[in-house]
Amino acid sequence: MSASDVEPSSKRVTRSVSRAQYTVTSSVASAALQTPASAAVVQPISRPEAPTWTLDRFDIGKPLGRGAFGRVYLARTKKEKLIVALKVLFKKELQNQKMEQSIRREIEINARLNHPNILLMYGYFWDESRIYLILEYAPNGELFRLLRRRGRFTEAESASYIAELTEALLYCHAKKVIHRDIKPENLLLGGYGEIKLADFGWSVHAASSKRRTVCGTTDYLAPELVDRVLYDATIDIWCTGVLLYEFLVGRPPFETDPPSIEETHELIRHCEYKIDPRLISAGPERLIRAMLQRRGKDRIPLEEIKKDPWIVNNRIEKTEIKLAFPEEENDENKKEE
């Protein structure tokens, strides 16, 4: 499939490849949403000249996924032979859903981040109707998909994922970036099965210490967001606690049946959740309770999560290539043959 065969659609995806970091400016990100038939020049930190990305620089492969604003394709750069995920977004849909600011944030923030546990953005460009994000390809897909298939994770798997996410958040917070939407759907898996934090559309560069904007996903909202009061980067620690619970139990701690936003908000406000000792042992229970504190200042710091004995003793060192869904890979290969 050639670049000219790309149909108008998109979503997101990922994988580990050679890493080159690029930066973009706010004015350039805004221009992508407004300027027709132009290519963004993405400034590399370590190179004297920046590449100008265009669609004809890529060989386009199979679709990897789709979303409300477009599709994601497996792609390869013709010159460098770099495997990437090409996220194709429609300007019209973004404007209709008033998502322009979200895309600006994703571009401006993600393009400045370079960490093994964060999905890398290589660059972006645009034409009259679409915006193209060039992203690292994560061959094992969404962690959400693996969790739904497995039901829940072992303590070793859970400790490893939380440790990797903690590393990513330590890096983000050091850069004054709050993610604000941590959930299994926004965690991808690299070739070794390692976490890749993705989707920075709700993220913010917090030059000031406190924010008030409400965003995120209901089951993962911190009490500060539910109550619409000032908050800081500790909301990401709350989300990490929700994730650890979900990894071990198979569902978020504040989920209601039937689903009710109002009831979920009340449970979050009062930090009401149940610990089943058959599913959550003393080690992770202590850590969950330390993260799910009502007040942000009372939550365990990320550095302490990283050094927690349960994390240290259960974390798996990932040194071998691992396929999360090997049987599906085989099925796809058979279909292609």
Q: What is the pLDDT along the chain (337 residues), one digit of tens a residue?
A: 444 344 433 333 332 333 333 334 444 445 444 544 433 333 333 322 446 899 999 999 999 988 778 899 999 999 999 999 999 999 988 888 888 888 888 899 999 999 999 999 999 999 989 999 999 999 999 999 999 999 999 999 999 999 999 999 999 999 999 999 999 999 999 999 999 999 998 898 875 555 445 456 889 999 999 999 999 999 999 999 999 999 999 999 999 999 999 999 999 999 999 999 999 999 999 999 999 999 999 999 999 999 999 999 999 988 777 776 655 544 443 333 3
The answer to whether 42 and 123 are in contact (CB under 8 A) is: yes
180: alpha, beta or left, given left = phi > 0 and alpha = psi -120 to 50? left
* pLDDT value of position 317: 84
Asked if residue 274 belongs to a known ligand binding site, the reply is no
The answer to whether 14 and 137 are in contact (CB under 8 A) is: yes
Residue in the structure block whose two tokens are 């960490």: 115
CATH architecture of 141-314: Orthogonal Bundle (1.10)
Q: For this structure, is 236 an active site residue? A: no
H or E element, residue 59 = strand 58-67
Domain 55-136 bears CATH identifier 3.30.200.20: yes
* pLDDT value of position 207: 53
* pLDDT value of position 143: 97
Packing angle of the helix pair 282-291, 234-249 (nearest 10 deg) = 150
Asked if residue 81 belongs to a known ligand binding site, the reply is no
Asked if residue 327 belongs to a known ligand binding site, the reply is no
Asked if residue 96 belongs to a known ligand binding site, the reply is no
* pLDDT value of position 336: 38
* pLDDT value of position 234: 97
* pLDDT value of position 217: 82
Domain boundaries, the chain: 55-136, 141-314
* pLDDT value of position 171: 98
Asked if residue 186 belongs to a known ligand binding site, the reply is yes
Question: What is the distance between the alpha carbons of residues 237 and 239, in angstroms, rounded to a whole number?
Answer: 5
Q: Which is catalytic among the residues 5, 56, 127, 181?
A: 181
